[in-house]
Amino acid sequence: IKVSGTWKGGYRVDVQAGDHVIIVDQPEAGGGKNEGANPLEIFLTALASCLGTIAAIIARQDRIELRGFEVSVEGDLDKAYLLGKTEEGCAGFTELRAKVNIDADMTDEEKKAFFERVDCRCPISDNIVKNTKVVYDVV
């Protein structure tokens, strides 16, 4: 799997992902033109959409009638570190929280067990939890 990003001026980056172009930008209040979601929103989007996709896959495999699956994800961020105003802290999220609503004929315990399987098989969640190694090659 591969994507490529091209800076388009200001804070806009166009990312080619397969046959799709994803426009990433900053809000006007942050100096951008608000032409797309910002990178942190894209990150949270990746987690929410991956969880939904894996839920659909597991439901199909287990023949579960999944009528609905909604997930909202939010994270806490130390903006002072991100903006270079301090050297203490971290640039990434300090905590992520996902709120999941599963519409299926399951007890609350079955829904929790189902979601544990979803989370366990979600590549995005796995990359977050296991601190996937990132290798850079500056050319």
Q: What is the pLDDT of residues 79-90, one digit of tens each?
A: 888 788 888 888
What separation, in Å, do the N-terminal and C-terminal C-alpha atoms of the chain show? 21
Q: Which two tokens stand for residue 81?
A: 């570190």
For residue 135, pLDDT over 90 is answered with yes
For residue 33, pLDDT over 90 is answered with yes
In this prediction, residue 41 has a pLDDT band, given cuts at 50, 70 and 90, of very high
| pLDDT given for residue 105 in this prediction | 97
pLDDT > 70: percent of the chain: 100
**Mean per-residue pLDDT, 35-63:** 97
In this prediction, residue 99 has a pLDDT band, given cuts at 50, 70 and 90, of very high
**Contact (CB, 8 A) for 124 and 137:** no
Q: What is the number of other CB atoms lying within 10 angstroms of the CB of residue 47?
A: 20
| pLDDT given for residue 111 in this prediction | 98
Average pLDDT of the chain, as a whole number = 95
